[in-house]
Amino acid sequence: MILPEFDYVSFNSIEDTVGFLARYGEESKVVAGGTDLMIKLGTGEVKVKYIVNILDMANLGQIKVNEHRVSIGPTVTHTELACSPIINKFAPVLSQGAAAIGSPQIRNQGTIGGNIGNASPAADTVPALMVLNSRLKIISQRGERWIPLADFFLSPHQTVLARDELIGEIEVEKLPQDTPFSFQRVSRRRAMDIAQMSVAVILFMDDNGERILEARIAPGSVSPTPVRIQEAERILKGQRASDRVIELAAAEVSNRAIDESDLQWLPEYKKPALKGLVIRAIKDAVEKRGWI
């Protein structure tokens, strides 16, 4: 791949980075692992004068936990997410999503901030982040703002991020231990292919593990921007996880996500396949606790 000419700049403070973006943002692109951006530079899809590296800022690569939330730096790699004891304990659905990405090389290089910033409908961390009620800290020289992840995406590869802004932090809900979860994914081959469809599920059960108090379901790769299917979540709420209820909820996910996605090009098979994937995910979540 032959890359066009560009100037590579790198700072070790957020202040200097956003200062540069405030001045040259229109001619710049932020780079973290580069696994998406380098390809776009190579194909000419992205043309810029400056590539602004953010990997030298150690404080953007940390995972921290407080009483209610887990904070993830944007340059945390997928390998780090998959292996982090904090993520595995408090947000394991995200570990599963990150572990499903590409190959070891891509997981070592690609970052969570880049996965979000690239805004692909097939991004594997995003369904997990959606069920974890994530929010993003957006930083620029003008200040900081927090936005829910669901409000970040406008359309495939388009976000609300202005050219002088950075994703500075990703905050996810800290789940009670043993919360049933599942991330399921289908791709063309076994590895190195982006997801053709995926789904992340979290269930909050009553103390006996008999009834679902709350369900969260986010499919991936079926709608232009990430969604939670609240109609399906409502079907599960207050119910026992019987085959009939699981099937009803899965059908609702498939109908809503695909019929309302406005993506006419979606292949016919996706509807029954997504239903099957959601059934598998809900059952996997419940079975993990021995409740089915």
Pick the binder of ligand FAD from 18, 21, 37, 94 (CB under 6 A): 37
278 binds ligand FAD (CB under 6 A): no
Task: Kindly state the tokens that stand for 21.
Answer: 């973006």
**Which of the residues 222 through 251 are near ligand FAD (CB under 6 A)?**
none
130 binds ligand FAD (CB under 6 A): no
Strands (E), the chain: 7-10, 28-31, 50-53, 63-65, 69-72, 135-140, 143-148, 153-155, 158-159, 166-173, 181-187, 195-205, 212-220
Nearer to ligand FAD, 75 or 179 (CB): 75
Radius of gyration of the chain (CA): 19
106 binds ligand FAD (CB under 6 A): yes
48 binds ligand FAD (CB under 6 A): no
Give a three-class secondary structure readout of 115-183.
HHHHCCCCCCHHHHHHHCCCEEEEEECCEEEEEEHHHCEEECCEECCCCCCEEEEEEEECCCCCCCEEE
Task: Kindly state the tokens that stand for 82.
Answer: 């998959």
Q: What are phi and psi of 165, to 5 degrees?
A: -110, 155
Query: Which range, of 11-19, 109-117, 127-135, 246-254, touches ligand FAD by CB under 6 A?
Result: 109-117
Closest residue to ligand FAD, Cβ-based? 114
270 binds ligand FAD (CB under 6 A): no
Q: Smallest distance, Å, CB 255 to ligand FAD?
A: 25
**Which of the residues 164 through 183 are near ligand FAD (CB under 6 A)?**
166-167
Instruction: List contacts with ligand FAD (CB under 6 A).
Output: 29-37, 54, 74, 101-102, 106, 109-111, 113-115, 117-118, 123-124, 161, 166-167, 192, 194
